Amino acid sequence: MFSACEFCLAIRASLVALAMIAVCVLAISAQAQERPRVPGNPGADRLTAILDTVTPEQVADLLNQAGYRSAVQGSGENRQIIAEFFPPAVGEVSFSSCGAAGCSLICFVYDFGSDASVDADWANAWNVEKPQVSVGLEYDGRVVMRMWVHLFGGVTPAHLKAMAALFVNTVNSVSEFRPK
């Protein structure tokens, strides 16, 4: 027979086990919830919408909503967006990892052209201090800034607009950058 103390410990252990089972069941059911998607509605802009692929037209629409005049150019697999990120200068948005539903990797690009004041040391210092937008020195001497945005797992339309703003603000800060 159990003593009163042993009986209390057995009840307590049972309650703890039941509580742990309840927490696990709740956690599993919360993960099984369907996330809201935006099927066939490229103009949708709900904060709860999750996009794990995008088309150039969807991104151009989002950029236009964010105040950056944008248009899709090219055809088929070679479509890209030309956007007035820095009026009157333009940048582009290119797409990778594309399938029938759209692309899951986009790249914001701005080409400064040739700039003799930018060398490998400057570019490396920038890339260490501002890794969100990388600087590349092309073989022909052009200075190109790029920011990759991965949609794997899904992002909201608001996130894509915020990434465009981050790109523009970071590129605009280039004249103030002094390598350490």
CA 145 – CA 23 distance, rounded (Å) = 47
Task: With a cut of 80, say whether residue 77 has pLDDT above it.
Answer: no
Count Cβ atoms below 10 Å from residue 155 Cβ, excluding itself: 19
Average pLDDT over residues 30-57: 62
More confident residue, 149 or 153: 149
Which residues, 6 or more positions from 13, have their beta carbon under 8 angstroms from its beta carbon? none
Residue 43: band (very low, low, confident or very high) from pLDDT cuts 50, 70, 90: very low
Q: Note if the pTM is more than 0.75.
A: no
Identify the pLDDT of residue 49.
81
* pLDDT of 76 above 90: no
